[in-house]
Structure 1
C-alpha cells in the first residue's frame, strides 16, 4: 500500500510560519525576506532590493538575516508536528520541504517559544559573565557542519581591532547617514515598520553600543579589553565564505540566541566592523580563529528590559500575485 503524500499547509498553519519568520533578527531590522508557499514547499526569498550599501556592501548581513529567519521557519514547522528538509538555493535563499507528521521535541518547543521573547539588547549586562556550563550549552546549540562558535581569546587584540573599527565608523559620514535613515523613531508593540528603535540604541561605548553612531565614545584599548573580559562573547565562524555559509551562520546564530533567550539571557550582534577592509583577516590572525568570522554575539543577563522592535505587516511577507520570486 502506497503511503499518503504529506498534507499541504492550511491557511492557519501558514500564519504560524509567517509570524515566526517575522520575529527573526535582521541587519538594521530591515526584515529582508519573503515567503512563497507551494503546497508542501516553502521558499524563503531574499529581498535583494533591501540594500545597506555602507554597512553591508556585499549583502552578507542580509543573508545572515535570512539564515536567522530560516531557523524560525524550521522551528515553526516542527512545532506544527511536521518533519521538514531544508535545501539552500540561488534563486531563493532556501526551500523548506514539509514532510509527514513528526513528534515535536521538547528542545524545539523551548526554542520556538523563545522566538517572541528574543530581543536585541544593546545595554549593559548584569553581574558580568555567564557561567561556563551555560556558555558551553549555547555553543552546542549553534554548532553545525561547517559552522563553529568560538569564545575569543586575546581580548587585548580584539579590543585593539574593535577600537580601530569604532573610530573609522564613527567618522564615516556615509555610514552615519545610512544608520540615521534606519533608526526608527517608534516605540512599543503597536509600531509597524522596520528600522532600529531609537530607544533600543545605547549612548555608551563598545561593547555595549552594538551600532556605532557619531557620538559613540571610544574607550582606550586597555579599558575596552577590560570591558570585553566582563562580557560573554562568541564569534560565529564558517569554513568557507559563500552564500550557503552566510545562511548557515545566520541559522546557527539564531539557534544560539534562542537557546540563550530560553535561559533568560539576552544578546546583541556586532557585524559592522567585519565589513571593513582587512578586518576579518586580522581577526583570524590575531585570535587564531578556526574559520571565517561572520558575526560576534554578546550575551548576558539583562540589567534593564530590552525595547521591542517594529515589524512589517505580515501581508508584506508574501510576494504579490504574479510577482517575481
Structure 2
C-alpha cells in the first residue's frame, strides 16, 4: 500500500511559520525576507530591494539575516510536529524547506523554537561573571557544522587594534552615518511595528558594547579596548568558503548558537560592520590565526538590564503579492 503524501499546511500553521521567521535577527532590523508557500514546500526569498549600500555593499549581511530566518523556519516546522529538509539555493529563493510526514520534535529543537520569541539583541554591558564552560560548549556545538567554525578569538590585542581602526573609519564616514540614521527607528515600547534599530537599543558606549558605530561612539585606546574584549564572551563565526551559500549557512549557524544561549538565559549581539572594511577580514584571518573566513563576531553573556524586542513588520508583508517579489 502506498504511503499517503505529506499533508499541506493549514493557514494556522503558515501563521506559526511566519511569526517564527519574523523574529529572526537581521542587519539593521531590515527583515529582508519573504515567504512563498507552495503546498508542502516553503521558499524563503531574499528581498534585494532592502539594501544598505554603505554598511552592506555586497549584501553579505542580508544573506546572514536570511540564513537566520531559515533556521527559525526549520525549527518552527519541526515544532509543528513535521519532518523537513532544508536546501539552500543560489538565487532570489535562498532556501526551500520541504515539509515531510509527522515527526515528534526533539526536546532540543522544541527548546530552541521556544527561545525564538525571547531572543534579543543586547547592545549593553553584560554581568562581569564568565559564562560557565558547559554553557559555552553548548553554544559552540549548536552552531558548528561542516564548513562552519565558532572560535574564541586569540590575540585580543590585535583584535582591539583592528576594531579600533574600524571604529575611527566608520565614525568619519558621512555616507555610512546618514544611512545608519535612516535605519534608526524612533520607536519605543514592546509592541512597536516597523523596521530599523530602536534608539533605545543603541548604546553610547564604545565597542564591543556599542555594536553600531555612530559619530559620538568613543574610541578607547588599544590597551583599554583589549581589556574590554577580555571581559567579554566572544565567538568568531568562520566559514571554509565565502560564497552566498556560505553566508546563508553562517547565518543559520549563528542563529542556532544564539537561540541556544537564549534558552540558557543569556543574551547576545552581533558585530559585522567592521568586517566590511576593505582588507579587514584578511587581516583578522592572519592576525588571529582563524580557521576560515570571518563572517560575524558574536558576543553573549548574562544581561545586566532587560532588552526590549525590536519592532517587526506586519506579517502580511512577509508574503509576496500576486505577480512576484516586492
TM-score between the two structures when normalised by the length of structure 2: 0.99
CA distance in 1, matches of 2:200, 2:15: 29
Cα RMSD, aligned residues only: 0.8
Aligned ranges 1:105-184 → 2 under 5 Å = 105-184=106-185
Q: Measure how far apart 1:129 and its partner are.
A: 2.5
For residue 307 of structure 1, report the CA deviation from its aligned partner.
2.3
Shift of 1:103: 1.0
Structure 1 segments (4+ residues) deviating >4 Å: none
Counting only pairs closer than 5 Å after superposition, residues 39-118 of structure 1 correspond to structure 2 as: 39-91=39-91, 92-118=93-119
CA contact (8 A) 1:128 1:231 kept: no
8 Å contact 1:37–1:43 — kept in the other structure? yes
Whether 2:188 is the aligned partner of 1:187: answer yes
2:272 paired with 1:268: no
Question: In 2, Cα distance between the equivalents of 1:124 and 1:90?
Answer: 38
Count of paired positions: 325
Shift of 1:133: 1.9
- Counterpart CA distance in 2 for 1:324 and 1:25 is 21
After superposition, the C-alpha distances for 1:163-208 in whole angstroms (9 at most, x for unaligned) are 0000100111100000000000001122110000000000001110
| CA offset digits 1:86-130 (Å, max 9, x no partner) | 111123110000000111000011100000000000000012421
Contact persistence 1:63–1:250 (CA under 8 A): yes
Structure-1-length-normalised TM-score: 0.99
Aligned partner of residue 15 in structure 1, secondary structure: helix
Distance 1:109 1:323 in 2: 33
Task: Determine if contact 2:190/2:308 at 8 Å carries over to the other structure.
Answer: no
Q: Point out where structure 2 has 5 or more consecutive residues left out of the alignment.
A: none
Give the whole-Å Cα distance in 2 for the aligned partners of 1:189 and 1:316: 20
Q: Is the partner of 1:36 in helix, strand or coil? A: strand
1:17 matched to 2:17? The reply is: yes
CA contact (8 A) 2:67 2:251 kept: yes
Once the two structures are superposed, residues 220-272 of structure 1 have per-residue CA deviations (whole angstroms, 9 ceiling, x without a partner) of 00000000000000000000000100000000000000000000000000000
In the other structure, the counterpart of 2:309 is 308
